[in-house]
Chain A
Amino acid sequence: MENLLVLPIVIPLVTAGFCLLASRRIRLQRSLSLFGMVALTIATLALFDAVRSEGILVIQAGAWPAPYGITLVADRLSAMMLLLSAIAGLAVTAYAGWSVGERRERFHFYPLLHVLLLGISGSFLTGDLFNLYVCFEVMLMASFVLLCLGGERAQLEGGVKYVILNLISSAIFLTATGLLYGAVGTLNMADLSVRIAQYENREVINSLAMLFLVAFGLKAALFPFAFWLPASYHTPPFAVSAIFAGLLTKVGVYALLRVFTMLFVGDPDFTHTVIGILAAASMVFGALAALSQKDIRRVFAFQIMSTVGFMALGIALGTPLAIAAVVFYLAQDVILKCNLFMLGGVADKLRGSGNLDKLGGFWKTKPFFSILFLISLLTLAGVPPLPGFWPKLALLRSTIETGEGVLVAAVVLAAFLTLFSSIRIWSGGIWRDAPPPDLEPTDLAEREKDARWMMVPAAGLSGLLLAYALAAGPVFDYAEAAADQLLNPQVYVQAVLGEGN
């Protein structure tokens, strides 16, 4: 069973390698890619099932005992994130063939996509802080190239901001890791959890905790480190934005969740308060900024920031209910954000623009598409009983229980603003009548055909969102069990380090 752990790393890497070997043959690469993603989905599903039934799975790479080698670990949170990444990857692969264009495909779109998945899967699997850094680098490099692939002016402008700010995050992450190693002498996260608790100088640990907060907060797009996201997400092809939106910030949130439930838990009055403040600022600013955007992807970009704020709030509160809310949030948000960008891509395809002023007229001519969009927008807005509602409810309840009126107000305000900006997209982008697009009839027919195929994965993800709504109970039970694992790291520590600890 443990060997299942290597598959989320091996499958994308093998697929990327073969796609590279087949570098001239696009059709072959498409099939290879799809095949790889299906295999990854099946493998992560098996892993998910194994973790659910057998508990935390661990494998020591190279058979070196922890903490000396690199440990791969999957608990409920990791297993869930792996599965979600595979699903998002599968959807985007199916989508990409109709949307990114052959030129980009020819320039190694597929190998890059799989390497991105490799970095993401690795981040969720690794139990080693330095290896996490390596995985982040894999992700960063792959995402940067995907972002800029095509070389359009806007892409490069966004790409530069993206890569430089993320390199700052990497530098801080690496420095902090080095310093932490210098202080406690280990890189294995389970071991770190034990040793940090024993380390006497709390101020140094707090300072390092803040460095990790900045490094991961930047990846997660937490205020005020989120500049790179709205600067870049609207520039690449929609398939690229979709996989980014679904997964990249979530890796940051995952990392925050890991370190602030396992490593830096000694002084929550300081660390978690800071997270709470940043979270509230993200929630409100992101939702507010989304209101004044014209480009549909900029709207979503700021809404990502707001969503990340909600998740960070859960981390800051740190109660079982709040952490479960974060897990549930992650569970639906990967699918949701990916889907929103994919649907935005369909709209863009049909109208030749992603600007809200040029969209519209879909309700009359494309009811099915409109309804798919409505499902996602209402999920985003947190309208019950769609899955976006439950984590918000749980967070609201946890916030109320802390008695922090300001945070409650921030949650309500952000939720309201999110509702407003989501509905704005519906009203202006779907409902409203729009003048016919400025496209050649033959081109338009071609686009209609592509759009139909692009809607297939979007429909699949929308179906998943509805499934979440129906299965909110079981999903929340799962999230609660995952939160339980996170809040009781000794189980994780024991699984990694063995019985002695």
Chain B
Amino acid sequence: MFAILATLALAAFLAPSLTRWAGRRCGWILALAPGAALAYLVSRLPAVIDGETFDATVSWVPALDVSLDLRLDGLSMVFGLLITAMGVATMIYAAAYIGDDQRLGRLNATLLAFMLAMLGVVLADDVITLFVAWELTGITSYLLIGYDNHKFQARRAALQALLVTGLGGLVLLVGLTMLSWIAGTTQMSAMSAAAGSVQGSPLYGVVLAMVLVGAFTKSAQFPFHFWLPGAMAAPTPVSAFLHSATMVKAGVYLLARMQPVLGGTEAWHTTLGVVGATTMLLGAVMAFPQRDLKKILAYTTVSALGMLTMLIGIGTSAALVAAMAYVVVHALYKGPLFHVAGIIDHETGTRELSSLGGLRRTMPITAAIAAMAALSMAAVPPLLGAYAKQLVHAAEGEATAAAGYIYWTALATGIVTTSVAVMLAVLPFWRAGRETPKQPHEAPISLWLGAGLLATLALLLGPVAGTTFRPLVDAAARVAGASPSELHEETSLGLASTSHAAEPASAGALEGAADQAHADADHGAEHGEHGSGTLLKLVTIATGVLLVWRRDALLAAVAPVGGLARFGPEAVYRLSVIGLKSFSGVLTRFIQNGYLRSYIFVVLLATIVLAGYPLFSDRAPLPPLAVLDIRLYEGLIVMAMLMATLFATGTDSRLAAVVALGLIGIGVAINFMIMGGPDLAMTQLAIETLSVLLFVFILHRLPRFEHFTSLAERRRDLVLSLMVGAFFTSLVWGIATEGGESALSPYFAEHSLSEGKGHNVVNVILVDFRGLDTMGEITVLAVAALGVFGLMRLNLDKEKKNGKVA
């Protein structure tokens, strides 16, 4: 398994140079990589259908319990086949579609990287591995949607898709982390054993919500669906592959994978049922008024994704089988339809439905492919679509939660989907010819081959679906929680009685709802009888066709409702993004306002609040402060220093302030003297003298002293300074009261002469005991001198003005 991932990685890495070397034929070569993966999967197919699984593991980040665990089972097989088969078709199609563009190499590389990521999603057993691959699909999708990077629309659509799925991904990560924490394992295959404890946990609701947000954003469920139509800014091969067949199904895949762990509860049935059904109907209805072929396809994809979510939400064995079947069927008709849309765009220069017509003459092969795909979409027998639709209908009858809602939305969706299928396959080809920007020709084989194969597959598999297609679907459904015994029974009984055989999938979790389910299942059976089913189907198709026939009138009638879009989720998204940016601007200008004095104020205030809290909070009254033993002359020196400080802060004359600071320094020097450090006193005096002198040298260069703050602000600052002073004083006082012993001073005194070979302890400290500090300090001095030199001498602004090259 790692070999196929490595093959794709290598192919992605080599794609740019290969593309340059092979030119337009590169598609055929690069298709070998997914082709090899497909061959591998097919070779494992019989074993997987028999219920075998294949595991491979490589340790990755053991400290985080993350390992690259891969597992090939029925569910991964279905999606894996889809990805690789569509992958082959896409690589061939993309190179032909894009043609000579310097970015084709990068596109190929990104597509292959996406395939790698997508296979990673469906093969991963470890939740983190899954997430890594999940995010990679998001990033590659971002890059692919924004392929036309010079267009604002493309960049915006790419960003929108990334932000929606990115936020969903992060939430999913939290959910998965919590889930693996509760379940005690990071392996999804091992989690179903812990389903009981997961669903019994008080955090179950949170975990479920987070995983669902992740899945819903990825699979474009309402209200996150809006990014998907936007993603149609991508080149058509990308839309066909990522935003129809594979990536958007990652959410559905995850739901299916999680069904045994999180599914079977009331919350699961209701949320998935309602969200899925709503998305299904909304997608179909939104598809109807679109004019751009790709937009129409995008909304029908949304609709299909909704249906899949709904089916997994229903969660019975039959529903899971239907979901898996429909995953494949959808890819088999939607992929070709996208390719057809791309061919039309490529050959005629437009994708506007209203400007297309009569193409069956010039593009007969394309017309045939479109017809086959659309028939499958409209569930017309004997195509595979009809088989899947039957399963779906039967499953819909088994819904336990929101059953009525599901029934009616499904009915309405069926009608609209039929009309959309007609719009896609009939109007451009069979109505009277229209003027297009380019003279249409039949597309080259590299453009229609993939679509043709997929559509033909749907046609061939249809009549023999029960024996060829069904076992694989069953294998997938079993992984998703369908019970093997029911599946077996059902398959042997044949399709007509599907609904009778249905039982709730996760029997344990569904005990309460079981009776209700039976009742509903019986109810469904009545509808599912051959006669009424066929009648309903005919009515659906007839209504659908009628809708297309009266489309313009209908659209005109409902036009005012379109204004509602202004309040839709996409509008919410746009407003949030704009709001976020302006909030960021306002907040930043408020906090990072450019005024040094405000920064200082905040820093000092925060300092005394944080450091003062432990001292002055109620939990610890300050110990009584010692009355310090102060001599008169010490007091006088301190008084003088205080006065100098006050003067320095108050005066408007810089020179006076400098002199006052010098006085403070001299006070410190006298203190050193009293404490017995003549060296320090001498150095301090020399430094004070030098700094006053240096100040004098530069003061005349400064502009006139000015007050920039108001009196009120200065009063506020005064209060803060006093508080800071008071805080530090009390802290010093408190520590002086406690009176800790220094471990160092006695040692220095004792060893200075004997080992430091010097009588002058201070000097021995400076050059020996703590020589390293001195080394640092002289370095600071040296740098300070370089600073003075550089700042005084180098003024690039001035040099630029004077024309010297900087």
Contacts and interface: CB of A to CB of B under 8 A. Distances in A.
Instruction: Indicate if A touches B (C-beta under 8 A).
Output: yes
Interface of A: 13, 16, 20, 61-62, 64, 67-70, 101, 103-104, 107-108, 111-112, 115, 118-119, 122, 126, 130-131, 134-135, 137-138, 141-142, 144-145, 148-153, 160-161, 164-165, 168, 172, 175, 179, 181-187, 191, 199, 201-204, 206-208, 210-211, 213-214, 218, 224-225, 227-228, 230-231, 270, 274, 285, 288-293, 302, 321, 324, 363-364, 367, 378, 383-385, 389-390, 393-394, 396-397, 400-401, 408, 412, 415-417, 419-420, 423, 427, 431-433, 472-473, 476-477, 479-480
Interface string B50-89: 0000000001111110000000000000000000000000
Contacts of B748: 68
Interface stretch (B305-313, B403-411, B649-657, B778-786): B778-786
Interface string B752-791: 0000000000000000111111011101101110110111
Contact of A214 (B610, B771, B775, B784): B610
B61 A472 contact: yes
Contact of B611 (A20, A191, A211, A393): A211
A138 B780 contact: yes
Given A107-B789, A164-B600, A427-B155, A70 B170 contact: no
B772 A207 contact: no
Given A206-B614, A214-B611, A431-B149, 7 more contacts: A119-B776, A134-B780, A145-B783, A227-B602, A408-B174, A432-B150, A476-B63
B614 A185 contact: no
Q: Which 6 A-B pairs have the closest CB atoms?
A: A206-B614, A145-B787, A134-B776, A292-B585, A210-B611, A227-B599
30 contacts: A64-B768, A68-B751, A108-B789, A130-B773, A131-B770, A134-B776, A137-B780, A138-B780, A145-B784, A152-B796, A165-B599, A168-B600, A168-B604, A202-B614, A203-B614, A204-B735, A210-B614, A285-B591, A288-B584, A289-B584, A324-B63, A389-B132, A412-B174, A416-B163, A419-B162, A419-B166, A427-B146, A473-B63, A476-B61, A476-B63
A213 B610 contact: yes
B159 A412 contact: no
B726 interface: no
B794 A149 contact: yes
Contacts of A433: 149-150
B178 interface: yes
B469 interface: no
Contacts of B583: 288
Nearest to A147: B787
B736 interface: yes
A230 B592 contact: yes
Contact of A161 (B128, B580, B596): B596
Contact of A103 (B62, B607, B728, B799): B799
Contacts of B2: none
B794 A138 contact: no
Nearest to A301: B592
Interface in B578-630: 580-585, 587-588, 591-592, 594, 596, 599-600, 602-604, 606-607, 610-615, 620, 622-623
Contact of B607 (A172, A289, A324, A476): A172
A416 B806 contact: no
Contacts of A172: 607
A270 B779 contact: no
A115 B166 contact: no
B167 A108 contact: no
A103 B796 contact: yes
Contact of B135 (A168, A367, A383, A476): A383
B706 interface: no
Contacts of B166: 416, 419-420
B588 A289 contact: yes
Interface centre among B167, B582, B610, B728 (most CB of A within 10 A): B610
B5 interface: no
A175 B146 contact: no
B794 A151 contact: yes
A292 B776 contact: no
Given A107-B793, A384-B135, A201 B61 contact: no
A285 B587 contact: yes
Nearest to A267: B614
Contacts of B806: 101, 103, 150
Contacts of A165: 596, 599-600, 603
B773 A131 contact: yes
Contacts of B132: 384-385, 389
Contacts of B549: none
Residue among A274, A293, A423, A472 with the most chain B CB within 10 A?
A423
Interface residues of B, number: 103
A185 B741 contact: yes
Nearest to B776: A134
A68 B744 CA distance: 6
Contacts of A472: 60-61
Contacts of B497: none
B743 interface: yes
A231 B592 contact: yes
A186 B796 contact: no
B398 to A, nearest CB: 36
Contacts of A213: 610
A151 B159 CA distance: 40
B63 A477 contact: yes
B141 to A, nearest CB: 12
B171 interface: yes
A90 B580 CA distance: 39
B495 interface: no
A207 B162 contact: no
Contact of B795 (A151, A378, A479): A151
Contact of B581 (A187, A291, A394): A291
Contacts of B582: 292
A432 B149 contact: yes
Given A185-B744, A473-B62, A152 B797 contact: yes
A409 to B, nearest CB: 9
Nearest to A161: B596
B797 A111 contact: no
Contacts of A479: 63
A75 B450 CA distance: 60
Contact of B159 (A289, A394, A427): A427
A367 to B, nearest CB: 7
B139 interface: yes
A432 B155 contact: yes
B170 A416 contact: yes
B734 interface: yes
B181 A62 contact: no
Nearest to B162: A423
A237 B497 CA distance: 77
A138 B779 contact: yes
Contact of B155 (A111, A207, A285, A431): A431
Interface in B649-683: none
Contact of A160 (B102, B596, B770): B596
Nearest to B133: A384
A236 to B, nearest CB: 11
Nearest to B607: A214
B740 A202 contact: no
Contacts of B573: none
Nearest to B617: A203
Contacts of A138: 776, 779-780, 783
B514 interface: no
